[in-house]
Amino acid sequence: MSGIAGAIRNGRRWASVLGALACLGLTESAWAEEPEVAYRSAADQIANAAQDAGAVESALARHNVPTRGPQQRIAEATLLMGVKDYDRAADVLNEVVEQFPTHPTAFPDGLNLLGETYFATKQFLSAQRVFMRFVDQGSDPRFARYRERAVMRLVDIALRLRDFKALDRIFSMVTGLGTEATSGLAYAKGKGLLAQGKYDAADAALRLVAADSSFYHQSRYLAGVAALSKASASETADAAQAKKSADAVKAKRARYAPVLERFREITKFPGDTDEHRRVLDMAWLALGRIHFDAGEFPEAVEAYNHVERSSPEFGTMLYELAWVYVKTGDFTRAQRALEVLAVAAPNSQDVADASLLRADLMLRAGQFEKSRKVYESVRGSYETMRDRVAQFMSATKDPGVYFETLSTDQLETFESTAGLPTMVLKWAREGEDGATAFAVIDDVALCRRLVKESNEMIERLNAVLASPNKIRAIPGLRLGAERGLGLVNSIALARLKLGQGLDGVDADRLSPELTAARAQRKALEERLGIVPVTAADFSLRDQQAKRQWNKASQELKRIELEVDTIQATINGLERVVSDGQAQGVVRTPRELEGFRAGLDEQKKLVGQYRAASQELRRVIEAAKLQVGFGDRRFLDDEQVRKQYAAALWQEVRLAANGAGGEELARYARRAAELLSRADGTEQQIEFSLKRLNDLVTSKVVELRGVVQKETQNIVGSTLSLEALDKDARIVVGGVAMRNFAAVRDRLRTIVLRADVGITEEAWEMREEQQTRVRRLKVEKARSESRLQEELDEVLDDSGDAEQEKTDAK
């Protein structure tokens, strides 16, 4: 009874469902039309694919046409230079110069920008090679408008490299060009002659700069510097005679009067640009220095006060102004100027001397506690620097090792206990021959970095060229391949629609063969349904593949952070061990040896972890390049498409032969005709894809040849770099060692002056206390003397009164 009741309830439930469907108009005949909907949808997809079948051929035709012209590339390089991305800008400009050597405008434009890019990144030799082409090829009319700028840059490069002999060669080239009278060339020549110490010739060249030139301010300032240098040289020659003369001061003022007039004239120029405003500030500084040297302190103060607070020369002005106030005895204003200097220009090279001078002035003013704090602050800051420099220099006496140490990554050096502060490096660079020596070191470091990046790029290119998706190396063809593959997948999905339409046809009892064919087809439907068709589908696949490797990269990054934490802990423990005695912690030599051995073992393990991490990082980066279009998933798509097409054809043939009834046979015959059209369209698209793949293969072979050639070039460059490195290690390392020794001595002097100041402060404090004690003793003695005198007077008065009473009796 319960079974019958359940059947009745189920019957009622199905009746309600059928009633609802009838209300919606979805009757039994509507389900019979669903295969027709599937057929029309599949027919539309196949027709659209046939219509777009020429997309791959269009991609092949467009491949040989440059996607961007030279002017567009130059515009891109200009934007990259604007955001200071000089490395990418140089890559783009090198492409322009190599690919368009005969272009009337793009080639000279690209060559000029390439030289400016090298100059901005301080690759002076490369910039010199580029700009020299404008001068060497003087007959080329394309270079005419850039020749003046090229000569100016060549002079700037020679000055930065301190290659004064090259200036004569450049000047002779300028004379040969016949354009010496232009303002830019005259300014460049005057600047070079001034650097050579030819003051009269420099002044004559600078006079040729026109008043409306953008270099007029600079030329007038350099002319003033030439006149000042000439006057200083004549004063040095007549120094002995001037000291014996009674009119020495008058003669000195007369000698510098024309120089003062030149700089005063400059200060009246308009400050319409940042460069011109800086020239005006430098002119005011020159006036202040001349007045200071002549003992005209009020005039010097007035000149210095014209330097703007936003000027790069503001810090220098404050230090010199403080000395003017010291000379006039106005110690309060001198202290104020030095206090502003400490805030406005904390990285100035005069900040140490300024701090000591401020402490001296405080000590002289009797502000003992404030002066002691400043002295201790200076000693605390620079004593650490001195110790680090001394430790750095005592590590080795070999200039070659010294050069190698400076050529390593400074970020790694700073993390160690022997790291050098940036101020020390700055002072060393500003020392004698420091600019040239450190330029060589920087160039070697830059070359090593570029060689390393080139090797990494070659590894990535080889990884792409060896992967199944080598088409990624040719982006112009990849878009056509994606479009063609999307059309093939669209046809595969049309077959999927037809298969689903077969499932919707009312059929009689299916034959065992048809049942097996249908089962095989249905087993492939789920996998076939995820093949990409649109550009968004392909992009989503790339993102999914990269997301997996990004997760691995993130895990590796977390491990690297843990290694960095361990390295920081090791550095801290090394400092604790080395500074333990200074902190009052006494350890036996055996304990120290055990600590150091343990730390060395940990450092060795950290090095192994870092090496393994770098290797894993390279593997991950290579894997990222190999996933995406053309990888294993796309090979699986192809296999599924072929299997599904074969299974569907087998089912259609069986159904058309009556293996599932007459109605299914009619639908199968129509589907067979549509499948034939699909196969034809697919073959057409696959033929185009084969041509595209053949082109990709030939391009890959060319790229492999280029990569192999560049690999050989890099190997040759590496060997040349090693040879140059051997030649430079001794000379440049010796110069750098000498400069660092000077920095060490300077730091020692600063610390010594701070110690002397602290001692003087203590001595002055002691003298003041002793003076105060003596003063108190004298005042006490005087007070006691006065009290004694008053007491004696009182006693004397009392004695006289008693005597009078006695006499009266």
CA distance 796 to 789: 10
CA distance 496 to 656: 18
Question: Of residues 630 and 135, which shows the higher confidence score?
Answer: 135
As to burial, measured by CB atoms within 10 angstroms (0-12 exposed, 13-18 middle, 19+ buried), residue 520 is middle
Q: To 10 degrees, what angle do helices 216-237 and 248-267 make?
A: 170
Mean pLDDT on 336-341: 88
User: Which residue, 324, 668, 368, is CA-closest to 517?
Assistant: 668
Q: What is the pLDDT of residue 312?
A: 87
Please, which pLDDT band fits residue 808 given cuts at 50, 70 and 90?
Answer: low
CA distances from 299 to 208, 286, 330, 575 (A): 32, 12, 15, 53
Any idea which of 225-239, 269-283, 316-330, 654-668 has the lowest mean pLDDT? Answer: 225-239
Q: What is the pLDDT of residue 346?
A: 76
As to burial, measured by CB atoms within 10 angstroms (0-12 exposed, 13-18 middle, 19+ buried), residue 408 is exposed
Mean pLDDT on 193-197: 88
Range picked from 19-33, 126-140, 280-294, 410-424 for highest mean pLDDT = 280-294
Q: Where are the alpha helices (DSSP H) in 505-534?
A: 512-528
Please, which pLDDT band fits residue 23 given cuts at 50, 70 and 90?
Answer: very low
Q: Is the pLDDT of residue 486 over 70?
A: yes
Q: What is the pLDDT of residue 24?
A: 33
Q: Is the pLDDT of residue 667 over 70?
A: yes
Q: What is the pLDDT of residue 58?
A: 77
Q: What is the pLDDT of residue 462?
A: 82
Residue 476 and residue 67 in contact, taking contact as beta carbons nearer than 8 Å = yes
Please, which pLDDT band fits residue 324 given cuts at 50, 70 and 90?
Answer: very high
Question: Of residues 545 and 799, which shows the higher confidence score?
Answer: 545
Q: What is the pLDDT of residue 272?
A: 85
Any idea which of 2-16, 251-265, 481-495, 709-723 has the lowest mean pLDDT? Answer: 2-16
Q: What is the pLDDT of residue 434?
A: 65
As to burial, measured by CB atoms within 10 angstroms (0-12 exposed, 13-18 middle, 19+ buried), residue 208 is middle
Q: What is the pLDDT of residue 116?
A: 93
Q: Is the pLDDT of residue 750 over 80?
A: yes
What is the DSSP code string of 259-296?
A: HHHHHHHHHTS---SHHHHHHHHHHHHHHHHHHHHTT-
Instruction: Write the single-letter amino acid at 798.
Output: S
Residue 441 and residue 407 in contact, taking contact as beta carbons nearer than 8 Å = yes
Q: What is the pLDDT of residue 22?
A: 34
CA distance 695 to 60: 9
658 conformational bin, left if phi > 0, alpha if psi -120 to 50, beta if neither:
left
Mean pLDDT on 98-121: 91
Q: What is the pLDDT of residue 32?
A: 32
Q: Which residues contact 731 (CB under 8 A, 6 or more apart)?
A: 399
Largest alpha-carbon pair distance within the chain?
Answer: 178
Q: What is the pLDDT of residues 386-397, one digit of tens each?
A: 887 887 777 777
Q: What is the pLDDT of residue 807?
A: 61
Question: Of residues 8 and 224, which shows the higher confidence score?
Answer: 224
CA distance 500 to 367: 98
Any idea which of 143-147, 347-351, 430-434 has the lowest mean pLDDT? Answer: 430-434
SS3 for 631?
A: coil
Q: What is the pLDDT of residues 688-711, one digit of tens each?
A: 888 888 888 888 888 888 888 888
Neighbours of 809 (CB within 10 A): 4
* Percent of the residues in the chain that have a pLDDT greater than 70, as a whole number: 86
SS3 for 744?
A: helix
Q: What is the pLDDT of residue 804?
A: 59
Q: Is the pLDDT of residue 284 over 70?
A: yes
Please, which pLDDT band fits residue 145 given cuts at 50, 70 and 90?
Answer: confident
Mean pLDDT of the chain: 80
Q: Is the pLDDT of residue 650 over 80?
A: yes
Please, which pLDDT band fits residue 581 given cuts at 50, 70 and 90?
Answer: low
Q: What is the pLDDT of residue 4?
A: 34
Instruction: Give the angle 547-551-556 at the CA atoms, nearest 5°.
Output: 145
Supply φ then ψ for residue 84, to 5 degrees. 65, 30
Q: What is the pLDDT of residue 800?
A: 59
Q: What is the pLDDT of residues 767-791, one digit of tens each?
A: 777 777 788 888 888 888 888 887 7
Q: Is the pLDDT of residue 13 over 60?
A: no
Q: What is the pLDDT of residue 185?
A: 83
Residue 43 and residue 510 in contact, taking contact as beta carbons nearer than 8 Å = no
Please, which pLDDT band fits residue 175 given cuts at 50, 70 and 90?
Answer: low
Q: Is the pLDDT of residue 738 over 90?
A: no
Q: What is the pLDDT of residue 79?
A: 93
Q: What is the pLDDT of residue 27?
A: 33
Supply φ then ψ for residue 764, to 5 degrees. -65, -40
Kindly state the tokens that stand for 229.
Answer: 């240098």
Question: Of residues 762 and 238, which shows the higher confidence score?
Answer: 762
